[in-house]
């Protein structure tokens, strides 16, 4: 496992000009290693390299770019074990989940290699034809978070490259090593300057968002930072794709299969220890089955083995950083003060590591913090309901609108209910899964634009409409 001490700019490993920052292992709270910190001048250099590489890269054929992506996927596969271990050490998730992240990211690269940009003929008669073409934007700045670090980097990077753009990436300061190593591994498959990675704190993301040499920012992270990026990007009217937070609700109807629902709900609520934008974060259960379902949820949640993600048998790791841990401990205190009842969990584990076990809580007010805020951690509030109209109003209350699900044996009824949710994705009888062919994005303050599939690819392009007058 190599923890890189260098940035990657213009096809070369480069020493940082702004010192280093310590990255902690969240399972032990010990320093894992010092990561390089870029200066804003190095951001300028990375952008200049990407601008100069763009001139060549945009003119490569679609087939050449597909082949490059397929070679990148092969390299990722060769280094899969190393990448997974880096993710466990810096991010905290159990090894098996990190291995799935690397395998999923690699499959995503291959899928994206097969996507193509359409040419639409929108008008044609004997004298004239109008075609709509898609052209790359230029330099894309990618700013990624710490929860699914490699997966989200691939979600940003691959469609940008496939559409003919060049890229400057900034990983989260909490999880930089997977990105620094990935670029060393895949860099040789691309001309110098096509991909660059600069690491640093929020000021580096800010510098990228303001940079006149960057044409688009793709960002995944908090709503607050998304708003800052939007403001900073106005200088040169950058294009934006913002994938921000979610506070996804699930509504469980009384006809549901309890065993099956409990398995699916626990998987969706504690995906990545709850640190997933489209994790299930509020559970509304019909009062007729509330107690019976809670019992099953607790049984499934308690199967998890909590600990250091490198330990054999551990299925549930720490939350990723002290900020997140402190915030979640505050939420647990708030629940306790408000009279919430913990059915399982409720206390962080003693000793080192940001370990909070799977927690299920009832007797919470639908307007309390744990329901209204995006907890982004392993605490699931369960709220009984008996009136469908009221529950739909509650589902649509928060500022977020990323996803939502309905659980029922009656698929048609479930679909009719979920169609009234104000969110970008809905699921019936499961929750939070994404697919490379299916557009994914948020309504309201959950974001702007979509990722994945043909629509996601088109977000890395601008339209060129060609009006052609036929001769003769
Ligand atoms: P942020 O949104 O602050 O961080 C995400 C990325 O943005 C990081 O790379 C960060 O860099 C960078 N960044 C920070 N400030 C700026 C800025 N001014 N301009 C440009 N980029 C910037 O998330 P947090 O880590 O603070 O997490 C806070 C909350 O965000 C979580 O509790 C959760 O609710 C939500 N979140 C949502 C995610 C999602 O998948 N939608 C993922 C992660 C968090 P750096 O790390 O160096 O500060």
The CATH number fitting domain 248-435, selected from 3.30.2420.10, 3.40.309.10, 3.40.50.2020, 3.40.50.2000: 3.40.309.10
How many angstroms is it from 390 CA to the middle of ligand 1?
A: 33
How many angstroms is it from 312 CA to the middle of ligand 1?
A: 30
Could you tell me the two tokens for 262?
């409990």
CB 218 within 8 A of CB 140: yes
Q: Which residue minimizes the CA distance to atom 44 of ligand 1?
A: 221
Average predicted confidence (pLDDT) for the chain = 98
Residue 131 is classified by DSSP as E
How many angstroms is it from 276 CA to the middle of ligand 1?
A: 13
Any atom of ligand 1 within 6 Å of the Cβ of 147: yes
Could you tell me the two tokens for 291?
């107690």
Q: From CA 104, how far away is CA 425, in angstroms rounded?
A: 20
Q: Which residue minimizes the CA distance to atom 27 of ligand 1?
A: 222
Segments of the chain assigned to CATH 3.40.605.10: 7-244+446-467
What does DSSP say about strands 128-136 and 166-170: parallel, antiparallel, or unpaired? unpaired
In the chain, the largest separation of any two C-alpha atoms, in whole Å, equals 83
Question: CB burial class (10 A; 0-12, 13-18, 19+) of residue 333?
Answer: exposed
SS3 assignment, position 297: helix
Segments of the chain assigned to CATH 3.40.309.10: 248-435
CATH superfamily of 7-244+446-467: Aldehyde Dehydrogenase; Chain A, domain 1 (3.40.605.10)
Q: Is residue 243 among the annotated active site residues?
A: yes
Range list of H helices, 163-257: 177-186, 202-210, 223-232
Nearest of 123, 207, 114, 122 to residue 162 by alpha carbon: 114
Any atom of ligand 1 within 6 Å of the Cβ of 230: no
- pLDDT tens digits for 251-293? 999 999 999 999 999 999 999 999 999 999 999 999 999 999 9
* Cβ-based neighbours of 280, under 8 Å, separated by 6 or more: 248, 249, 250, 265, 268, 269, 380, 405, 431, 432
What percentage of the chain carries pLDDT values higher than 70?
Answer: 100
Strands (E), 298-369: 341-344, 359-362
Q: What is the pLDDT of residue 17?
A: 97
Q: Which residue minimizes the CA distance to atom 15 of ligand 1?
A: 202
CB 10 within 8 A of CB 193: yes
Q: What is the mean pLDDT of residues 397-412?
A: 98
CB 17 within 8 A of CB 42: yes
pTM to 2 decimals?
Answer: 0.97
Could you tell me the two tokens for 100?
């799935």
Residue 454 is classified by DSSP as H
Q: What is the pLDDT of residue 149?
A: 98
Q: From CA 86, how far away is CA 74, in angstroms rounded?
A: 18
- pLDDT grade, residue 186 (50/70/90)? very high
Q: From CA 362, how far away is CA 10, in angstroms rounded?
A: 54
Q: What is the pLDDT of residue 6?
A: 97
SS3 assignment, position 230: helix
Any atom of ligand 1 within 6 Å of the Cβ of 446: no
Active-site entry in 90, 173, 243, 374: 243
């Amino acid at each position: 496992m190599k923890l890189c001490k260098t940035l990657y700019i213009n096809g070369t490993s480069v020493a940082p000009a702004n010192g280093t920052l310590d990255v902690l292992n969240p399972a032990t709270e010990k320093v894992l290693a010092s990561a390089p910190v870029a200066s804003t001048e190095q951001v300028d250099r990375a952008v200049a390299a990407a601008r100069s590489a763009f001139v060549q890269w945009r003119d490569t054929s679609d087939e050449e770019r597909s082949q490059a992506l397929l070679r990148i996927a092969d390299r990722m596969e060769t280094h899969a074990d190393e990448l997974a271990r880096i993710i466990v050490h810096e991010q905290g998730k159990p090894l098996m989940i990190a291995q799935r992240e690397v395998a999923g990211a690699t499959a995503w690269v291959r899928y994206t290699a097969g996507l193509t940009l359409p040419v639409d003929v929108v008008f044609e008669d004997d004298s004239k034809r109008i075609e709509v073409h898609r052209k790359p934007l230029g330099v894309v700045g990618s700013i990624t978070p710490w929860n699914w670090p490699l997966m989200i980097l691939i979600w940003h990077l691959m469609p940008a490259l496939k559409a003919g753009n060049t890229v400057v990436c900034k990983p989260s300061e909490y999880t930089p090593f997977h990105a620094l190593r990935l670029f060393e591994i895949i860099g040789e498959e691309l001309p110098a300057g096509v991909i660059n990675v600069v690491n640093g704190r929020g000021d580096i993301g800010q510098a990228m968002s303001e940079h006149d040499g960057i044409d688009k920012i793709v960002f995944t992270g908090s709503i607050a930072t998304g708003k800052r990026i939007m403001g900073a990007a106005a200088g040169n009217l950058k294009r934006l794709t913002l994938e921000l937070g979610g506070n996804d609700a699930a509504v469980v109807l009384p006809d549901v299969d309890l065993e099956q629902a409990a398995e699916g709900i626990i998987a969706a609520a504690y995906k990545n220890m709850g640190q997933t934008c489209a994790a299930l974060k509020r559970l509304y259960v019909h009062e007729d089955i509330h107690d019976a379902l809670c019992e099953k949820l607790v049984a499934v949640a308690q199967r998890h083995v909590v600990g250091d993600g490198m330990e054999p048998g551990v299925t549930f790791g720490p939350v990723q950083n002290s900020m997140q841990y402190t915030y979640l401990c505050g939420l647990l205190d708030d629940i306790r003060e408000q009279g919430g009842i913990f059915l399982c969990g409720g206390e962080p584990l003693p000793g080192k590591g940001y370990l909070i076990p799977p927690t299920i809580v009832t007797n919470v007010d639908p307007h309390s913090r744990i329901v209204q805020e995006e907890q982004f951690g392993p605490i699931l509030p369960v709220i009984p309901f008996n009136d469908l109209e009221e529950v739909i109003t509650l589902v649509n209350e928060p500022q977020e609108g990323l996803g939502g699900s309905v659980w029922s044996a009656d698929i048609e009824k479930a679909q009719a209910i979920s169609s009234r949710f104000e969110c970008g994705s809905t699921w019936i009888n499961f929750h939070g899964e994404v697919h490379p062919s299916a557009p994914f994005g948020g309504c309201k303050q959950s974001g702007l634009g979509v990722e994945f599939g043909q629509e996601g690819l088109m977000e890395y392009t601008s339209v060129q409409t060609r009006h052609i007058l036929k001769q003769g």
